[in-house]
Structure 1
């Protein structure tokens, strides 16, 4: 079956209702056969006390986009995804604006997906580089 970009973005939006993704205003904006892109506004809602983007908010964005991206490779009626490990290197701070996270698949196994998530600012400058490992489970 051919990849359907609009269907993937609609699914991500629907699954975000009444979740942390909605609270953080994460919006899924692009998708392809091996990547998913989401944005998040940087404002006081996601700041740490020093007035810059909280690393935890960046990690929440990375895990949200990486976990949702695994939906492209499973049957959501029979399988589900769980993030089992995430690491992040925060290389630049950000006070306001918009960050964009792009998840790209590094390994697509039957039970494990490994994603690289790059979070950049409006000028494509790297803010955080994350790695997410997802486990694929059978639905019970």
Structure 2
């Protein structure tokens, strides 16, 4: 079960926790739970000088989706998720349309989460495979 309605940008319980960067990059959050987060960003406005989807944009999408899913799990433990490791392998480029990311939980522990994040283009071709590890910590008082 998803915590957000498809097409919604921000779920209510995440208000104030999503960065301005996500909004600037045009993130659309499509699905969110601890087990799976799906979102997309437009290629337009997120390119490198040669007009190709920027690798840094891939990492932003990976970090955002993985962190949101990790936070969905962490909140059940009265904790917050902080990213400690992100790695990404870029397979191919995109020049137009949208890049869609799907974060799938690999581990939902009491102190660590791991999500695999696959980015695809509009044709369903894999652009990037990544993994995000988050540490779950008590919120600062």
Higher mean C-alpha deviation, range 12-21 or range 122-131 = 12-21
Contiguous gaps of at least 5 residues in structure 2:
none
State the match for 2:23 in structure 1.
22
- Match of 2:75, SS state, is coil
State the match for 1:133 in structure 2.
133
Instruction: Determine the C-alpha separation between the residues in 2 that align with 1:17 and 1:75.
Output: 15
- The within-5 A match list for 1:98-113 is 98-113=98-113
CA change 1:12–1:118 in 2 (3 A) is farther
Q: TM-score, normalised by structure 1?
A: 0.87
RMSD over aligned CA atoms reads 2.3
Greater percentage in helix = 1
- Match of 1:25, SS state, is coil
- The within-5 A match list for 1:69-84 is 69-75=69-75, 78-84=78-84
State the match for 1:11 in structure 2.
12
Question: Deviation of residue 14 (structure 1)?
Answer: 3.0
Residues 70-113 of structure 1 deviation map (CA, whole Å, 9 limit, x = unaligned): 12212279421111000001101011110100000001111110
Instruction: Determine the C-alpha separation between the residues in 2 that align with 1:12 and 1:125.
Output: 32
Higher mean C-alpha deviation, range 128-137 or range 68-77 = 68-77
- The within-5 A match list for 1:85-100 is 85-100=85-100
- The within-5 A match list for 1:36-55 is 36-43=37-44, 45-55=45-55
Do 1:12 and 1:68's aligned partners in 2 also have CA atoms closer than 8 Å? no
Q: TM-score, normalised by structure 2?
A: 0.86
Paired positions, count: 137
Contiguous gaps of at least 5 residues in structure 1:
none
